[in-house]
Structure 1
Amino acid sequence: MAIPNACRRSASLLLLLSPLLLSPAALGEVDFQYERPEIAPETASGSEEKPGWATETFAVAAANPLATDAGYQILKAGGSAIDAAIAVQMVLTLVEPQSSGIGGGSFLMYHDGEEVRAYDGRETAPSSVEEGLFLDADGEPLAFMKAVASGRSVGVPGTLRMLEMAHDAHGRLPWAELFEPAITLADEGFPVSPRLHRSLAGTEALREDDRASAFYFTEEGEPLPEGHMLKNPALAVILERIAEDDSSALHTGEIAEDIVARVQNHPGITGTLSLEDLATYSAKEREPLCTDWQDYRVCGFPPPSSGHLTVMQILGTLEQLPPIEVGLEDDLPGVDWLHRFLEASRLAFADRGRYIADPDFVEAPGGDWSLMLDPDYLEERADLIEEGQSMGSGGASPGNPGALASAWAVQPTQPEYGTSHISIVDEHGNALAMTSSIEQAFGARILSDGGTGMPGGFLLNNELTDFSFTPTDDEGTPIANRVEPGKRPRSSMSPTLVFDRDSDELVASLGSAGGAAIIHYTARSLVAMLDWGLDAQRSLDLPHAITLGGPVYLEAGRFPPATQEALRERGHKVEERELTSGLQAIQRTEEGFFGGADPRREGVVMGD
């Protein structure tokens, strides 16, 4: 899709950090010098009020202040949005290892001022896997956490290869210079954040990995305390090699050998990831999905992500229903809107469970994924929603958006976790939304030191558990998202770029962490920003309500009893739980940009 050159916009200065600012440099002449920021203590609270940040020229939003600052310094030095994203991701590998890193995969939406591009760095299944990868000797699915913390769950990582592909097309600063912030912080140390400390305290399986236990826990077996200055010499050496030799440093040679050894010699359940799998991995450029909604064109990632299709099925179904006079009641989503949103989610997730998988292995219904978003089809789906009564758990069945080349069974619901999101706009008219993951918190709980023999390193993903554990249903009908060699598991990551339908100007970049609930978080944020007219920060502050087709989960302590009771009266089974999203959003304003960061995490926005 062609988009005319976007206006130069901005970001914001962060209160938590005070870096020395760098002067913009001419393309190809910059000698980037990373300045380590001074860190103010962060709150240990699980939720922190965020002000939102207004800027004029550029902006970067990421899940950790050190990562945001690295991207800010790259943008300040004249780098492009992709340059900044690479610096951000490398620092996230270090400071937020529980969520993403070079041992995982990513989806990247990029707007270069003229067109939207979609870069696929999703992990792939090893070439020797079988469809019963997660079945035990009796043919029964493994317990989820047993499968996660094993060599069997590790897919071929793709983040580096994808970033390298995007940098070749859109980079302005040299590849090697983008690694300086992470290398410096790994060498000199960084303070363990409250979120990292809490994550370490909440995982037992990580203690069972010898390297990870020695690195992330004290001699007494306690998680490293908040504020502990943690150095990661192994990761510093690994990143230096990647900076010098590009992504081949991870996919071949000593680092690859250590990854394979850790997977194939796992003390619990071994995996089959091979040196050939690593060496032959290829990132892909895919055709983005751009969907008209209200006055906007919403662009997101195609399969193997289910994010855009499911988000836009929810929003498109809501659009087919009679208007609700008031969506917000007392600054909270109202009961009528919540009921419709949850019912539309049930219908969209039913379609997701049957149809969406790696498009290199599974054909779209009718040969075109956009048929799942056809207004006539969504009108049929909207007719199934009753205003006063929920269809309830298991009440939503998949629809028929188009003829299938093969019959697929519905995938049973299983857990999905993890991820980190980055949104960036630069002064050159480029914008990106990138969601990155190692899946579960701390991935497969396998720490690779890259063969350095030094403390630390990076964590390997458990993304293969995003495949259906069962390859067929009880009648033997295959499940679209079953395990197959070389296949990319279905994802919920939803990196999103929004444009004005008339002017083609960039309106917003957003996305979230949170497993399957990423879809709900992103959809609700789009409604709040573009329909209800809230700014990015206020939109991200709103409480969450989700359903994957079964019970309704409301964010704990955020909705009044009257709202909960009203939903129960309509037939919803309502439970409260923590819904820790990881939203980041940057929206265009008349003055420049306004950025928001999820109050449930440590993210911030910076820019000028």
Structure 2
Amino acid sequence: MRLTAAVLSFAMLAACSESNQQATAPEQTPSAAPAPPAQSTPQSQPDWDKGYMAAVANPDATDAAATMLERGGHAVDAAIAAHAVLGLVEPESSGIGGGGFMVVFDEDNGGVTFLDGRETAPSGATADMFMRDGELMGYLDAWQSGKAAGVPGTIALYKQAHDKYGKLPWADLFEPAIRLASEGFTVTAKMAGYLPQMAEITRLDDNPGAREYFYPNGQPLQAGTLKQNPEYAETLRRVAEEGPSAFYQGEIAEAMAAAVQAAPEAGSMTVADISAYEAVERPAVCGEWRSLNICSATPPSSGAMQIMVANLYDQLLPEGATQDDKVRAFVDAQRLAYADRDYYFGDPDQVEVPVSQLIDPRYIESRAASPTAPGDMPMHGDPGMVLGNSAAAVWGPDSTFEAAGTTHFSIVDSEGNAVSATMTVESPFGSARWAAGFLMNNEMTDFSREYTAGSPEPANMVRPGARPRSSMSPTIILDENQELYMVTGSPGGNSIPAYTAKTVVGIVDWGLSVQEAIDFPNIIARGESVRVEINREPGQNLADMLSEAGYNVSESDGENSGLHVILVTDEGMIGAADPRREGTVASGM
């Protein structure tokens, strides 16, 4: 069948720009990706000679990252500068009213760290806040409600990352965004393309602040318009001068609380909730795959799925596998991994998530031994039964829907440090509620919204202070010497793990170049159906092949991936941006 549902159609609007080109630095490399570089001794920091590279979702943001890297900044400095600009030029995807995750590789010691800036539920949040007389609120109503907004984590994440890794002065990182907000930026086709439909299905054209900004004189902004945002410039000036306290306390915090508490369906977020927010440093989850070490974000992220899918894929490959066999193994690996993710993953500070068991090779082998039949609904496994540990917790079912209002960028600095960052406001334009020059997120809809008293709780249930489960999977891959090999990730809601895994398997096993792996049709296998992107070759052939094999295939005329990937080779770095969005790549020495 074709995807025609309104909630999915708005998520596909961002597939627009075909101008992105694969970049190399400092030298061109062959089309097919080489094997991971094998060197006898790990590099020390002064030995990195491959320059810097940034692959970001908007040219202005790419330029901001490159400016910081040219000044000798750390990859984290570039990431903060890039995202501050993205919050201005790409507000439909992310911003300082939302949150996100950073995975950071330290070239000096070879360590990988996960920094968690996920939004949190207000203290007044309840498990049944999206229920009405025993019935679940419709997604669109929940999305536009004040109940949908979580306490933003972006600014706290900036500060945590800068305190740990930053080299440039804090205030310098906001200069590009403040300049563009003050002098004006050019509205892109991506942002403008959303606005007419948003006026039909959301309150973006009704809510104070958002209405005047996005629909001046009652008309949606047009691509090519020079647009200023003095409110955003002032908010960033205060953050630059005063630090995060300017955001989490005082007038800006009051403006956020007021926006969330406004009718209809007012939320409970208070200034006290906002001032109490803290970003969290967590160990990255790492797992071996062939000669590589895949490292990603732990729960509440779904980064562990990258390890699960890659290793399930290998277990499911038949001997002498054809390319069709490889695609089917990739589909089946996703189906098993998604089923486990959907059942077990939640906020690790609230529930026990058996990540180490789910990526254990013994469990992976057992899971792959009984793949789900193509036409059946995949069910979660029980690693406790395989590994001899205590039985897994009994959770209620969860079919959380995540819309694709997110961005991703990959950065490597001139010393070989790297950042893979995925940032979000959840659905396009978040909750459409405006405060101090930016939009508030609707991240609370990433919880399992359905709740029945007396039934088993979903792991991802709404709980006060909890962080909702996320599909965001910023990933860094190291080679056999624990040196940087790949930086990858994508936006795309529930499809993020599939989009990201496609680049990993495509580059390493399918012999695709970085750009070819990004361009390859997206295949998303969560639940009973398999969605195949047919408007890119060989998408229709893949859909037909999978359908003939018995899978319940849903044909998609376009996907909302925004992959940004950097591959390290002996000759230099190769970077590429997803042509489905507006990203670019910058590099230098």
Whether these two folds match at TM > 0.5 is yes
Aligned-partner Cα distance in 1 for 2:420–2:524 = 23
Question: What does residue 38 of structure 2 align with?
Answer: none
Aligned-partner Cα distance in 1 for 2:368–2:471 = 22
Q: CA deviation at 1:146?
A: 0.5
1:379 to 365, 370, 377: 365
1:296 is aligned with what amino acid? L
Question: What does residue 507 of structure 2 align with?
Answer: 529
Q: CA deviation at 1:562?
A: 4.3
Question: What does residue 28 of structure 1 align with?
Answer: none
Aligned-partner Cα distance in 2 for 1:216–1:146 = 21
1:210 is aligned with what amino acid? P
2:124 to 121, 124, 128: 128
2:279 is aligned with what amino acid? A
Q: CA deviation at 1:410?
A: 2.1
Q: CA deviation at 1:323?
A: 4.2
2:98 to 69, 84, 104: 104
Change (3 A) 1:399 1:188: same
Q: CA deviation at 1:534?
A: 2.4
Q: Deviations over 1:301-335 (max 9, x none)?
A: 001112x22222221111112446456xxxxxx43
Question: What does residue 331 of structure 2 align with?
Answer: 342
3-state secondary structure, aligned to 1:441: coil
1:148 is aligned with what amino acid? W
Task: Tell me, yes or no, if the aligned pair for 2:19 and 2:582 is still in contact at 8 Å.
Answer: no
Aligned-partner Cα distance in 2 for 1:414–1:515 = 8
Change (3 A) 1:260 1:112: same
Q: CA deviation at 1:167?
A: 0.4
1:433 is aligned with what amino acid? S
Q: Deviations over 1:500-527 (max 9, x none)?
A: 12x2110011100100100001111101
- Aligned pairs for 1:155-194 within 5 A: 155-194=150-189
Question: What does residue 208 of structure 1 align with?
Answer: 206
Aligned-partner Cα distance in 2 for 1:422–1:51 = 15
Question: What does residue 191 of structure 2 align with?
Answer: 196
1:319 is aligned with what amino acid? D
Question: What does residue 255 of structure 1 align with?
Answer: 252
Task: Tell me, yes or no, if the aligned pair for 2:383 and 2:392 is still in contact at 8 Å.
Answer: no
Task: Tell me, yes or no, if the aligned pair for 1:104 and 1:159 is still in contact at 8 Å.
Answer: yes
1:46 is aligned with what amino acid? C
Question: What does residue 478 of structure 2 align with?
Answer: 499
Aligned-partner Cα distance in 2 for 1:534–1:417 = 26
Are 1:556 and 2:534 an aligned pair?
Answer: yes
- Aligned pairs for 1:8-407 within 5 A: 46-48=16-18, 50-56=20-26, 57-113=51-107, 114=109, 115-136=111-132, 138-204=133-199, 205=202, 206-219=204-217, 221-265=218-262, 267-306=263-302, 308-323=303-318, 325=320, 334-365=323-354, 369-385=355-371, 390-392=374-376, 394=377, 396-402=378-384, 403-404=390-391, 406-407=393-394
Q: CA deviation at 1:374?
A: 1.2
Change (3 A) 1:442 1:45: closer
Q: CA deviation at 1:342?
A: 1.7
Q: CA deviation at 1:391?
A: 4.1
- Same amino acid, percent of matched pairs: 42
Change (3 A) 1:562 1:240: closer
3-state secondary structure, aligned to 1:580: coil
Task: Tell me, yes or no, if the aligned pair for 1:385 and 1:391 is still in contact at 8 Å.
Answer: no
2:327 is aligned with what amino acid? L
Aligned-partner Cα distance in 1 for 2:307–2:451 = 27
Aligned-partner Cα distance in 1 for 2:412–2:291 = 22
3-state secondary structure, aligned to 1:534: coil
3-state secondary structure, aligned to 2:198: coil
Q: CA deviation at 1:147?
A: 0.4
Aligned-partner Cα distance in 2 for 1:447–1:54 = 40
Q: CA deviation at 1:541?
A: 1.0
Task: Tell me, yes or no, if the aligned pair for 1:50 and 1:537 is still in contact at 8 Å.
Answer: no
Question: What does residue 8 of structure 2 align with?
Answer: none
Task: Tell me, yes or no, if the aligned pair for 1:431 and 1:509 is still in contact at 8 Å.
Answer: yes
Question: What does residue 463 of structure 1 align with?
Answer: 443
Are 1:519 and 2:506 an aligned pair?
Answer: no
Aligned-partner Cα distance in 1 for 2:73–2:512 = 30
3-state secondary structure, aligned to 1:509: strand
How many residues are treated as equivalent by the alignment? 539
Aligned-partner Cα distance in 2 for 1:91–1:301 = 24
2:398 to 394, 398, 411: 411
Question: What does residue 544 of structure 1 align with?
Answer: 522
Aligned-partner Cα distance in 2 for 1:379–1:95 = 45
Q: CA deviation at 1:286?
A: 0.2
3-state secondary structure, aligned to 1:494: coil
1:448 to 414, 435, 442: 435
Task: Tell me, yes or no, if the aligned pair for 1:537 and 1:596 is still in contact at 8 Å.
Answer: yes
Q: CA deviation at 1:210?
A: 2.4
Aligned-partner Cα distance in 2 for 1:562–1:66 = 37
Task: Tell me, yes or no, if the aligned pair for 1:409 and 1:472 is still in contact at 8 Å.
Answer: no
Q: Deviations over 1:537-586 (max 9, x none)?
A: 22111111112212221113224544333222222122222211010011
Task: Tell me, yes or no, if the aligned pair for 1:200 and 1:223 is still in contact at 8 Å.
Answer: yes
Report the TM-score when normalising by structure 1: 0.86
Unmatched tracts of structure 2, length 5 or more: 1-13, 27-50, 385-389
Q: CA deviation at 1:471?
A: 3.1
Q: Deviations over 1:230-255 (max 9, x none)?
A: 00000000000000011111100100
Question: What does residue 585 of structure 2 align with?
Answer: 605
Task: Tell me, yes or no, if the aligned pair for 1:134 and 1:469 is still in contact at 8 Å.
Answer: yes
